[in-house]
């Protein structure tokens, strides 16, 4: 049996840009993606702490060190500049692998800089 479990999470990312007229996705600072072990075009789930909205999309790598958290396309209806987000990726594991998984949790400060990695 396979299970879907948390692989990584970026916690309290502040939206820096919300652009409706765009093909769609979530732009993230490349340093944040690397710290969380996320990759370009990976599917992620986004949970908006500020308004309760939830959506799935894929990642686009933004400039490293920029602090960019940009919501593009239809998802821009679900997040505005300043909203706080949780961005998560999940992994598919065999039952026996689940006891060894240690999700990577990246906690950000107010400026989208890494405060802590667990």
| Predicted local confidence at residue 24, as pLDDT | 78
Looking at every residue in the chain, the average pLDDT score rounds to 97
Category of 34 on φ-ψ map: left (φ > 0), alpha (ψ -120 to 50) or beta: alpha
Look at residue 10 and tell me if it is in a domain.
Answer: yes
Check 8, 47, 56, 58 and give the catalytic one: 58
Region 23-50 average pLDDT:
96
Asked if 58 is an active-site residue, the reply is yes
* Tally of domains within the chain: 1
Look at residue 110 and tell me if it is in a domain.
Answer: no
Look at residue 101 and tell me if it is in a domain.
Answer: no
Q: Tell me how far apart the terminal alpha carbons of the chain are, to the nearest angstrom.
A: 28
Residue from 68, 12, 70 nearest 57 by CA: 70
Residue 13 sits in a domain of what CATH number? 2.40.40.20
Region 89-105 average pLDDT:
97
Which residue range forms the structural domain that includes residue 20? 2-96
| Predicted local confidence at residue 77, as pLDDT | 96
Look at residue 106 and tell me if it is in a domain.
Answer: no
Look at residue 83 and tell me if it is in a domain.
Answer: yes
| Predicted local confidence at residue 23, as pLDDT | 83
Point out which residues pair with 2 in neighbouring strands. 94
Check 8, 25, 72, 89 and give the catalytic one: 25
Look at residue 114 and tell me if it is in a domain.
Answer: no
Tens of pLDDT, residue by residue over 39-94, are 999 999 999 999 999 999 999 999 999 999 999 999 999 999 999 999 999 999 99
Asked if 22 is an active-site residue, the reply is no
Look at residue 86 and tell me if it is in a domain.
Answer: yes
Look at residue 77 and tell me if it is in a domain.
Answer: yes
């Amino acid at each position: 049996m396979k299970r879907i479990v948390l692989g990584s999470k970026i916690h309290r990312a502040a939206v820096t840009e919300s652009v409706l007229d765009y093909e769609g996705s979530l732009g993230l600072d490349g340093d944040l993606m690397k710290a969380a072990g996320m990759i370009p075009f990976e599917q992620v789930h986004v949970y908006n702490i500020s308004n309760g909205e939830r959506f799935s999309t894929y990642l686009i790598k933004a400039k490293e060190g920029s602090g960019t958290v940009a919501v593009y396309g239809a998802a821009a209806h679900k997040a505005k500049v300043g909203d706080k987000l949780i961005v998560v990726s999940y992994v598919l594991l065999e039952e026996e692998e689940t006891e060894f998984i240690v999700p990577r949790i990246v906690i950000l400060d107010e400026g989208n800089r890494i405060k802590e990695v667990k």
